Amino acid sequence: MDHLKLTMDALSVDTISDLVFDPSCGAVSIFVGITRDNFEDKKVVHLEYEAYEAMALKAMKAICEEIRREWSAVHGIAMYHRLGKVPCREASVVIAVSSPHRRDSLEAVSACIDRLKARVPIWKREVYADTPPVWKENRECAWSTHHSQIVPQAQ
């Protein structure tokens, strides 16, 4: 079963990991992305997230489908991302994956966060203590100006 959510509420790692627990599974792997208090020598006060919610949830569902094709032993997947203001030391994203054995869940949870960052339309604004806030481009996303993908030139 897949559990996907975008929420303004604080994320509970325990609650989210419980969603994927199953007695047939010996592994639950969890990724927790935390708001850190610094970026390039600037003090971060908090982050602010926005999303194109319908499209984001659709992209998250597509990621779950891919994960299940690549790791057929995966049982449960939960991907929760926070929206709005996220203070330092709080979770911005929690992903949990269960499977009978650790390798599948570890590899799958890693793939989930990489794909989420690359494809899900969620935007982040960093708010600093001493400088103006900045909307941050995710360098991993497909539409990033920093993305290393070569785009063919029109002829």
Candidates 1.50.10.10, 3.40.800.10, 3.90.1170.40, 3.30.1600.10; correct CATH number of 2-136?
Answer: 3.90.1170.40
Residues 6+ apart with CB under 8 A from 121: 51, 52, 55, 56, 59
Q: Residue 137 — very low, low, confident or very high, per pLDDT cuts 50/70/90? A: confident
Is a pLDDT exceeding 70 seen at residue 54? yes
Residue 61: beta bridge partners?
A: none
Read off the pLDDT of each residue in 88-98 and give the average, rounded to a whole number: 98
Instruction: Mention every residue, 6+ apart, whose C-beta is less than 8 A from residue 151.
Output: none
Question: Using CA of residue 72, residue 15, residue 109, residue 64, what is the dihedral sign?
Answer: positive
Rounded Cα distance, 104 and 110, in Å? 10
pLDDT in tens, 105-122: 999 999 999 999 999 999
| DSSP state letters, 97-148 | EEESSHHHHHHHHHHHHHHHHHHS-EEEEEEESSS--EEEP-TTSTT-TT--
- 16, 4 in Cβ contact below 8 A? no
Q: Are 97 and 110 in contact (CB under 8 A)?
A: no
